[in-house]
Every structure is written in structure tokens, then in C-alpha cells.
A and B are shown apart, each in its own frame.
Chain A
């Protein structure tokens, strides 16, 4: 049985005067993968970035409505974005390891949040995060090499390890495979499947095959609106909305 982790109620997102997300309400559950699909520019990434307040970093972005994490309003004054982002991790479209060693990339988050009491603690966190990200075997002998020296797929798994290292509850993934080749993509998808046990995972993708492969629920966005949301199998075999059907059958996109 799943429980609701994140709830959005009547969320609008504006960039300056332009409305990018219009009245979206959605429940995102723990222990499964939720996919956001839709044509480019439909607002799926914008909405994703409002779930951990990364939109705060864009000068004239504004979010209205309510987003609840375990029932707590994440836009409330009492919610600190720093703590929020530790709980809601994010993986980006292009792998963005810091120009530091592999070890330092993973240790960065735990260090700023004070999660490790000792060097041994930190070593354990780094090893566990890299193991969960399926990267430990490949890099355990060269932890002091630059993270930027890894291959694209390895870099992205390093970024996932970096997010896992602070023990988040939710992981947001913004088209995490769009810069990767098919083999690296398969590895990441496999990883997402393993990770879903312990986290609520939200993945934005422009590939319907990917959504069908990795997700249990799918939300279809179009022009800033949430058109349809349901079980992935339902959406792909028996969509209720004409727009959804047109999109997944490739009429536009």
C-alpha cells in the first residue's frame, strides 16, 4: 500500500507576468515512480522545480497555491528551503558534478548538513550512497579522481549518489537521461527501479517509452495544465482525454 508524500493544491507558477503552470493539483505517492510527460514547454520541468523550491533561485518566479510535504506547506514561512531541499533531492538534465573529487562530490551534502560525526561516518555514507547508485564498484579505487573525468552515464550516477547521500525522502529527476547514450540510460532506469522502494521518485521525461518502462503513475502536462494523471498502464493503453491520446500516439510532441 502506498502513502501520499507530496500534495499539490491549485498550484500556479508565474515567470514575471507569464503564467507557466495553471491550477495544478496532484498527489505523489511514496515507494513508486511518478512520471511527468508532455511536449516541450508544457511546464513539467517548471512544476518539478517548484516541488523543492528551486524556482526561488530564479529572479522573477512566483508560486501560488499549496504544496504539502507530509502535510507541511513547503512555501510556509516556517519551512526553511535549505532543509526542504535536503529532504527533496534533485537530479538534473545534464550531469553536473562539481569540479572536485568523486569523494568530495558525494560528501558535500552530508558535510554542509552536518550528517557525519566523524571521518569514518563520512566514509560509510559515501560508500553507501555510491553503492546505492551502482557506482561503487567502478570508482572505489579512484575516489580522489575528479568527478568531471567520469563518463556521462557515470557522472549522472554520481549526481544521483550525491543526492542520495543526504538521505532525501523524495528524489526529483529532470530528464536525467536526455544527455546519455542508450546503454547509460538503461543503467539509470534500472537504478531508478531499485531506488523506488525507499523514496518517492518523480521523473520528468520527454520519452514516452521511458515513462512506460520506469513509472507506475504518469501525469500528462500540456500548456501549463495537468491534463491527465493516473496509473501508467491506464494512461498508455486507455487514455481518457483526446489530447493525451494524440500525444502518446505521436500526433504532436
Chain B
């Protein structure tokens, strides 16, 4: 609580510094050419000197303070009554922290009540110490900045360098995120692979984490049925729907439709891509799945299930249509008009031109688009969670319920398991596989698209 206030105070102090430095620089300004930088830049320079070091101190203190507070509380006589079991103790500490912030919060462990008071005291003490340190840093920075306000001081250059640093930092966020994904997936999946052999995981055909105990653990984490379900639903059924419909839509819109029709229909088609996946999932479960079950029954299927690979795949395919269509649209548009002119001038019909000249020429772009579409379909979660089912089976029957990688990730991580069991950790191993596969698909597809564009530039 105190630290939040300190944060705001630092920002406020920076603002004050800005005005002070600007006013000081204005006094020095005696006319054109008398100063290197405009007064505003002196203001920014000083504000940066106040805020940046102080915020670094603030972040550092925020990181170490909880540890200090905890160790003080543990040393307190009131903590003597805490159970030795680390997990139990952590739970009590967490409750005490809630209590310290809000005395009326409900508590389950009576011990939390006893240590809440020393905890609050320690928090206040260390909070004040931190505030003092941060204040010293801020004022020292400000003082340094203020002494540098001189006519020949290149404040603008310094400020601009800081701005560039900020820009660089922002763009590094992308690498940091990628790194975070890779590191967290590798770390948690690594823990999983300590218990389950990677080979059993990647090649086993039996998936029932619920039964996994003791020595037969390897036999229950065979993910092949999950991979199959993912491919069957996302890369086969969905694509059987999305590729012809998306491609033909793109061909109609780019080659046949009048300008007016295209201007209206294209955005409407794109609405399909903007509908949240949870809505598709609900639509699949509520409307499509029962129709397919009944259809399966009329085909003579014995006990067709409500959840089916076909329902999930069909709806997913519909969701992907605009994606395929816009990729195909781009690919067709990239083929120079002179190509189709050449064919039409020989007396080819539109459709002959499209089939024999345009599509072959646009093929790399279209294939890349389909790869991106598959990457999107296999990573899609809500539709399969709501319509595909939990049964891990290796079957080619589209009316059967089937499970996917994403479904199992959700299944393993929702519910009340303890965190470090192989069952929950398996979600990260599945996530790792999913990440690698989509990454490879994306990189190849983006390369192909780039090469393809360059070929016709």
C-alpha cells in the first residue's frame, strides 16, 4: 500500500522537476542561439533524472521487501505456533497478507489472525524504509539533473537518447514474450518428462492421466490419440470445409463480383472471423452437434454421441473460411494482371484463366495461407472444448467424439489438482508440442509468402 503511494509520489516529483527545470532554463534563455536546447528539453531531462533512478529503486525494493517482511514475521514470537509443514504455512501467510490489507476478510486458519498484526507492523516499517530510500534516490537524481542546466548543455540529445532506449525496450518485449513462452513451456514440460518418458508420451496410444499412478505412469500418457484428434478435426475436417468455400469465395469476389458487391460482401464475410470462438463453440454444441447426431443415427450409427469430431470440425471450418478467403484473395491479387490478360487475349474463358493460369501462379501464396489456417485450427480451443469431447481415441469415424491437444490442456489445468502432479504438468508438454508445430507452420508459411510476393514485385 505504501509503495503504491510512493510510486505516485515519484511521478508527481518528476512533474515538479519538469516545471522547475523548464523555468530555470527559461531564465537562462537570452535570445536566438543562446542555448543549445529548448527549455522543454531541459524539463524532460530533469524529470527523467528524477523518475528513472527512483523507479528502478522502487522496483528493486518491491521485489525484496516481501522476503524481508516474511523473515521478520517468522522470527516473531507469534509465528512460533505455525505448523512446520511448508505448504500449510504458506497458506496461512497468504491469508495473513489478505488480513493485513483488509481486516474484515474471512479467514479459515486462526493462526493467520495472530500473525496478521506483526505482519502489518513489518510491512509498515519496511514500507517506510523503502520510501525513504526511494526519496533519497529521487532527490539525488533531481539535484544532479538541475546542476546540468546550462546554456551549452545538450539536453535534447540526452532526452532523445533516453527516448530511443525506451523504444528499443518496447520492441524487445516481443523477444521477451517469445523467450517467456519457450522458457516456461520447456521448464514445466521438463518437470513432466522427469516422470514420463518423452518417447512414451510422443508414441504411446493410450491416454488416461486419471489412472496414472505408480510404475505404469508411462502407459497412461500416450498422446498419439490427442495428436490424431487434433489433426483429424483441425487439419482434415475443418480444411475440407474451409478450403473449397474460402477459395471459391475469394475467386468469386476477386474475379467475378462487381466492385459494389465486393465492397459489401467482403466485410460481411470478415464478420465470420470476428465472432468470438466461444460463440462458435456454443453454436456447435447447441445447434450443429444435435443435427449431426441425428444424421449419424439415420445412417445407422449405433449410439452416436452428441459430441462429435464432425460438429467441431465443421464449425471450425466455417470460422476459418474468411481467413482462407483473405489469404487467397491476397495471393490472387499478387499475380500481375498481365497474366490473366495474356490468357484472356488468347480466347480463354474466365474460368479457364483462373484454373490454368491464376491458381497455379498463386499456388505458393495459397498453400502458405492454408498452412496458416491449419496452424490456427489446431490451436483453436473453445470450439473443441465445447463440441469435440473428452474421449481420446484413434478413430476415423467423424461421428465419434474425439479429443484434441487443446481440449486436454484445458482439462488438465482446470479443476482442483495440485500443481506439480504429472497430470497438470502434461498440459505444458502438450502446449510445447502445439507451440513447436504451429511455430514451424508459421515460419514456413511466412517465408513462402515473402518469397512469393518478391517473385511478382
Contacts and interface: CB of A to CB of B under 8 A. Distances in A.
Chains A and B touch each other in the complex, with CB atoms below 8 Å apart: yes
Interface of A: 52, 54, 57, 59, 81-87, 89-90, 92, 94, 96-100, 108-109, 112-113, 159, 162-163, 166
Contacts of A54: 341, 344-345
21 contacts: A52-B345, A82-B347, A82-B348, A83-B347, A85-B346, A90-B341, A90-B345, A92-B342, A92-B345, A96-B341, A98-B342, A98-B361, A99-B361, A100-B360, A108-B357, A112-B346, A112-B347, A112-B356, A162-B346, A163-B345, A166-B346
Q: Is the interface of A mostly helix, strand, loop or mixed?
A: helix
A159 B342 contact: yes
Contacts of A81: 347
Contacts of B357: 98, 108
Interface of B: 258-259, 336, 338-349, 352, 356-357, 360-361
Nearest to B260: A59
Among B338, B342, B357, B360, residue most surrounded by chain A Cβ atoms (within 10 Å): B342
A59 B255 CA distance: 10
Contacts of B258: 59
B346 A89 contact: yes
A89 B348 CA distance: 11
Contacts of A109: 346-348
Contacts of A98: 339, 342-343, 357, 361
A162 B356 CA distance: 15
Contacts of B338: 92, 94, 96
Given A92-B345, A108-B348, A163-B346, 5 more contacts: A54-B344, A82-B349, A100-B360, A109-B346, A112-B346
Contacts of A92: 338, 341-342, 345
B344 A96 contact: no
Contacts of B348: 82, 108-109, 112
Contacts, number: 68
Q: Which 5 A-B pairs have the closest CB atoms?
A: A86-B347, A90-B345, A96-B338, A85-B347, A109-B346
A86 B346 contact: yes
B104 to A, nearest CB: 71
Contacts of A82: 347-349
A108 B345 contact: no
Contacts of B349: 82, 112
Among A59, A82, A87, A89, residue most surrounded by chain B Cβ atoms (within 10 Å): A82
A108 B347 contact: no
A96 B347 contact: no
Contact of A85 (B259, B336, B344, B360): B344
A99 B341 CA distance: 14
A112 B352 contact: yes
A182 to B, nearest CB: 23
Given A52-B345, A59-B259, A96 B339 contact: yes
Contacts of A89: 345-346
A8 B258 CA distance: 29
A146 to B, nearest CB: 11
Among B341, B345, B352, B357, residue most surrounded by chain A Cβ atoms (within 10 Å): B345
Nearest to A85: B347
B263 to A, nearest CB: 12
A203 B420 CA distance: 79
A57 B343 contact: no
Nearest to B340: A57
Contacts of B343: 98, 108
A164 B342 CA distance: 13
Among B259, B347, B356, residue most surrounded by chain A Cβ atoms (within 10 Å): B347
A97 B360 CA distance: 13
B349 to A, nearest CB: 5
A92 B342 CA distance: 8
B335 to A, nearest CB: 9
Contact of A162 (B339, B342, B360, B361): B342
B232 to A, nearest CB: 35
Nearest to A104: B356
Contacts of B347: 81-87, 109, 112-113, 166
A26 B67 CA distance: 95
